[in-house]
Structure 1
């Protein structure tokens, strides 16, 4: 019987992060999820644990408060796998630049992600694995994606340097395209989603289940390391 893994999901209270939590809880792993609101994180963890008869707990963590990250994670005794899935939306252009919003996203996704790894590294196993969430705005920017595109491009460098520094722990990233059934996109006008769908060779938008499957693959395949995996149905081909 496979030994349960200790999985830490940063940003696991909603959307794709929550689906990742559900996947590993259903697989019998020990899962810790985080969210900015501690009560909400605990409530969601309890609900998932009851539904799936799994071992899930929730803790409060704000990635923008980097000096508090180590203390927030101090109660976790062991970590095998980390999924850095927390995201924030930032509509920013160079012509109308909101520096506070830009600093928040850069801190959250680059400094905060890295500080999580730093904080729990002494408790990670040598066969541990890390998956970082980026996004296809790194390759296909859009109006207002100045910070998002830059930060997701930074994820590529983060993966490469951490895969070298942390060896034998593996580090990879997943870069989803538009995830049609995610909370952010599912409520968009159908004509908008149809436009994106028509430019995707598969004829369908990426689904949350596709992203979860990619995360599980990157965490579990012992020979995949330093990879930035696009999950886009070939969207970048058109």
Structure 2
């Protein structure tokens, strides 16, 4: 059995996913920008390894992954918070996010392609902003919409390896959201059909399903409680 590689697995949702699969007895490798921190987090988790590279510098990726052996699943879920409007367009910030989530993600798959099991899969994280733009989401909305195209083409090029995408809504119990004012969270909660915000455990369960279900391929799963706005 090969490893599960979680790109962006050293904090937040990525860390929760890593904890789940380590708990299942799987061989897990987490990555982050800082090699030392990635190794430290991996040791704390009891994971098989921790690797460091910056997705916005794609030339770092293949060398950092060179020593990995067989891989069953790749989860691409690194995140970059970005507020970038057309009116005050920050080219450096925009290029970093676009490179990170489209070029960087693709380079990870390219670097690991010859080690991916034919029964394995790739999971690419996008987000709600692809459907629900907001002021300052110009780059985020564009990139998350691009995740759909990336997933579709990878599913064709990598077949029979499965490729899916996951698009979370607001995950209310993450550090970023749990510290928001109650009225802000309530405003988001009341426009869901479930009457609750998405939780970390919901994301972890969805990741496990998309990685493990042998018929889940070219699926683009929105996980937001049936939001209406």
Could you tell me how far apart the structure 2 residues matched to 1:17 and 1:83 are? 9
Check the 8 A contact 2:125/2:165 in 1, yes or no. yes
Which structure 1 residue ranges, 4+ long, deviate > 2 Å from structure 2? none
Q: Identify the match of residue 218 of structure 2 among 209, 212, 226.
A: 226
SS of corresponding position for 1:28: coil
| 2:179 is equivalent to residue 187 of structure 1 | yes
Kindly indicate whether the alpha-carbon contact (under 8 Å) linking 2:2 and 2:70 is maintained by their aligned counterparts in 1. Answer: no
Q: CA deviation at 1:56?
A: 2.8
- 1:199-218 mapped onto 2 (5 Å cutoff): 199-218=191-210
Taking the aligned partners of 1:222 and 1:48, their CA distance within structure 2 comes to 27
Per-residue CA deviation, residues 135-182 of structure 1 (Å, 9 max, x unaligned), is: 010000111000000000000000110000100000000000000011
C-alpha deviation, 1:39, in angstroms: 1.1
Q: TM-score by structure 2 length?
A: 0.98
Give the CA deviation at 1:5.
4.2
Q: In structure 2, what is the equivalent of residue 36 of structure 1? A: 33
Alpha-carbon shift at residue 68 of structure 1 (Å): 1.3
Identify which of 59, 74, 79 aligns with 1:82.
74
> 1:35-54 counterparts in 2 under 5 A?
35-49=32-46
Is the aligned partner of 1:146 residue 2:143?
no
Aligned equivalents of 2:146, 2:167: Cα separation in 1: 12
Please say if residues 3 and 72 of structure 2, whose CA atoms lie closer than 8 Å, have aligned partners that are also in contact.
yes
How many equivalent pairs are there?
A: 229
C-alpha distance in 2, partners of 1:68/1:61? 6
- Matched with 2:7 is 10
Match of 1:100 among 68, 92, 95: 92
State the TM-score, normalized to the length of structure 1.
Answer: 0.94
1:169 to 147, 157, 161: 161
Distance in 2, matches of 1:59 and 1:162, equals 24
Q: Using the alignment, how far apart are the partners of 1:218 and 1:5 within structure 2?
A: 17
